[in-house]
Structure 1
């Protein structure tokens, strides 16, 4: 019987993998290449920064009594004053009353959305929201509605159906399209219907140093924000920003916080030093915006109908099926540009694409090579 169950499980897994291969969306791990980086989230070059690496090491060395690991959750043995000081510093930087650190952006979204909305409440999120938010919302057992991407009428129709406490969830810069929602209009709608607005800022920090919400001076009008450290900050981890009350609630009810070993000191030191570097990165941020403008200017008019509208570091060319997206990515890689295809089911069928991430350290010649190759592809 046990052997039959084992064989059944193995057959199921093999069938699912074969199905993926047949559909052309089989995933496999790749090593980093020596190609020009147009795919990583290291928007300001912090992950590769020698200055940041030195600063982190100096910070670690200045606290010789700290352990290699946290030794437990923050509610048992893993909490240190350094972590609480860091939370206050980051919250102040983003113009927030308080913040709570999580070990990753995924953990932060799981921890927030699985614990805050309750059965009988309502979560309404954009259809292109991060997968981690969807997973957290499912764990909450709240009613969950999806509205069409950036569509105010669709959002309002769902707000009219909401029951209990309602939470509306958007990203300030969307991870797969790179666009920004009509934040003011969405905020007005949520206030009109008595809903709370939560915003994921993973891809906005760096493009806007403190994030788009602080940049727009809307911090006091938003219920909560999630900021991750694995993109422009160049490190790892995340923080949920909001009120002191929200922080205390998550400490008491967020299972993703309560039941996990805390981040080690080295990770905390890396985040602290990266934020100090961010405060002095005016030149890099200006260069990043310049590179975005150069890329958009370099795409020829014939390719405009395939280029999604975006003013962010994320620029996408629609190819509309997996095979074309893979072929375009391969052509760019052959030219020396590390661009990856984004395939269904990561994106909806018919919206497969190549996704380009621009960085402050990409040179004018590198961007010219990228746009020239893309123009040649879109002419074919």
Structure 2
């Protein structure tokens, strides 16, 4: 008899174990006592009573699911309302909501990169942008991280449609892209600029209007923005914002829009409520940045290698994947949830703890978190293996 067709999986599992890269799922209890610095709930809205009540109302009114693709039965009046208000808030002509930020990125990269086009992609981009480049029919050139001159050089080698693709805030270290300089490089060559503002919306810009607005690019005819509703807005889903012709093109050509079930009404209702709350309470964006700065200042004072944040992500570098896993596990034992990034999730191969600077964290909670992380770093054996 032939061997198992999945025998190769055992070998890969063994290799992950040897490298200290095994990942496991840890179901989160509804009443978890952990102090949360691991999620992307930057504004502290995922459990806000106004947001959860809006989700419940939307589910009662429109049903538990969207019931079909957006072009069939999956577009409700609620979806249209969310798109209009989101575009207005961020300063763009039009918006289109997707079931996830991942789906939004796949859609926009593939539809804006036809045969004969060039995609210039930052080396630090999120996996969803990378996968979009892989699926696009145009050619892709990966360039050095956050380097407008590298983008300019790549665009200069191509004749025809072109688009430069970048995160606005990179999810690993929390550093921001030089958006204004990238836009200038693109305009010199007649290229479009596509940016993923997943970690900027709700944190950067005037009252949280996002990194493109902060860079003076909101509403520009050659700029397209993607975003998620699952981070600052505490909900689920994604969106593309940009010129109306681009959005119309996505409706007609984006496979992850045409063939995917629409965003559930509860998620759309929650995101809309979060957007309206942020309009009323714009200080939440500034507070998230303030918390990030405080975490960085206190962690570096304790001797940890923390990357200076440009938004709400605070990265603490670890000496090895095993140490990063151990630090995260020990933090959890001490009542603190932190993220743990290891290869292949980190492009430079350096493992990290990833902390979320939430707007609703108190000064006392910041001090407690720093104390826990400092303590587990000091107590961690140097050669611990998973």
TM-score (structure 2 length as normaliser): 0.90
Moved more, 203-212 or 69-78: 69-78
> Which residue does the alignment assign to 1:309?
308
- Assess, with a 3 A threshold, how the Cα gap between structure 1 residues 309 and 291 changes in structure 2: closer, same or farther: closer
Moved more, 26-35 or 226-235: 26-35
Aligned: 1:19 with 2:18: no
> Which residue does the alignment assign to 2:122?
126
Q: Distance in 2 between matches of 1:67 and 1:361?
A: 31
- Assess, with a 3 A threshold, how the Cα gap between structure 1 residues 374 and 269 changes in structure 2: closer, same or farther: closer
Alignment of 1:86-105 (within 5 A): 86-105=82-101
Q: Distance in 1 between matches of 2:339 and 2:271?
A: 27
Q: Distance in 1 between matches of 2:349 and 2:23?
A: 18
Aligned: 1:272 with 2:272: yes
CA contact (8 A) 2:292 2:357 kept: yes
TM-score (structure 1 length as normaliser): 0.91
Moved more, 122-131 or 47-56: 47-56
1:321-343 superposed Cα distances (whole Å, 9 cap, x missing partner): 21121222233233322113211
> Which residue does the alignment assign to 1:293?
293
Q: Distance in 2 between matches of 1:302 and 1:90?
A: 41
Aligned: 1:77 with 2:73: yes
Deviation at 1:187, TM superposition (A): 1.3
Alignment of 1:116-155 (within 5 A): 116-155=112-151
Corresponding pairs, count: 372
> Which residue does the alignment assign to 2:225?
225
CA RMSD of aligned residues (A): 2.1
Question: Structure 1 unaligned runs (5+)?
Answer: none
> Which residue does the alignment assign to 1:354?
353
Alignment of 1:28-43 (within 5 A): 28-32=24-28, 33-43=32-42
CA contact (8 A) 1:303 1:378 kept: no
Task: Classify the secondary structure of the residue corresponding to 2:5.
Answer: helix
Q: Distance in 2 between matches of 1:213 and 1:324?
A: 36
CA contact (8 A) 2:97 2:239 kept: yes
Deviation at 1:60, TM superposition (A): 5.2
Q: Distance in 1 between matches of 2:266 and 2:57?
A: 11
> Which residue does the alignment assign to 2:331?
332
Q: Distance in 2 between matches of 1:73 and 1:300?
A: 48
Deviation at 1:74, TM superposition (A): 2.0
> Which residue does the alignment assign to 2:383?
none
2:175 pairs, out of 155, 175, 179, with 179
- Assess, with a 3 A threshold, how the Cα gap between structure 1 residues 373 and 189 changes in structure 2: closer, same or farther: same
Q: Distance in 1 between matches of 2:283 and 2:241?
A: 27
Deviation at 1:282, TM superposition (A): 2.8
Q: Distance in 1 between matches of 2:371 and 2:68?
A: 52
